[in-house]
């Protein structure tokens, strides 16, 4: 796997800014349509990145990203690492008619937009299912 480092000095740029820097670096390294396969945030920042029970949180993300098609590791400063894959040539499915909503008590749901409607932000029982460990978050 190739490795690229993006210098970033200063305060933590945040995930969104760091991911944009990583995508730009991937484009500069011949990836036409870079996609993040896996990422890691330095644990010294007090936040945790996604991980699987039983997996080493410091290494699983790299193994997962490389094993699922990642070909470029981009480090942004000392805080973020991303495994990138070029997705040009892959078919897209268009808009997925799902969205996430949260009720007044903080419970999260995944909702089927054609039944839920776009105007209502209150989860409807006939359109929504509570998020759990098996449902994908659509954020």
* DSSP assignments along 105-116, one per residue: TS-EEEEEHHHH
Strand partners, 130: 109
pLDDT at 1 over 70: yes
Domain with CATH 3.30.1490.340 in the chain: 2-86
The residue to which tokens 């932000």 are assigned: 121
CA distance 84 to 54: 24
* Residues 23-55 pLDDT 10s: 999 999 989 999 999 988 876 655 555 666 777
In SS3 terms, 59-100 reads as CHHHHHHHHCCCCEEEEECCCEEEEEEECCCCCCCCCCCEEE
Q: What is the CATH number of domain 2-86?
A: 3.30.1490.340
* Residues 87-108 pLDDT 10s: 887 776 677 788 889 999 999 9
Confidence of residue 73 (pLDDT cuts 50, 70, 90): very high
| 133 phi, psi to nearest 5 deg | -65, -10
Token duo for residue 87: 């997705």
Q: Does the predicted model carry a pTM greater than 0.85?
A: no
């Amino acid at each position: 796997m190739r490795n690229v480092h993006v210098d970033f000095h200063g305060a933590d740029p945040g995930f969104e800014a760091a991911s944009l820097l990583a995508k730009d670096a991937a484009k500069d390294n011949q990836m036409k349509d870079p996609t993040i396969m896996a990422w890691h945030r330095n644990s010294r920042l007090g936040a945790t990145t996604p991980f699987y029970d039983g997996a080493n949180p410091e290494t699983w993300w790299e193994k997962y990203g490389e094993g699922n098609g990642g070909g470029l590791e981009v480090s942004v400063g000392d805080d973020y690492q991303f495994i990138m894959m070029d997705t040009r040539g892959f078919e897209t499915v268009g808009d997925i008619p799902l969205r996430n909503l949260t009720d007044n008590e903080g419970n999260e749901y995944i909702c089927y937009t054609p039944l839920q409607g776009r105007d209502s932000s209150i989860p409807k029982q006939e359109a929504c299912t509570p998020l759990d460990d098996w449902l994908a978050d659509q954020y």
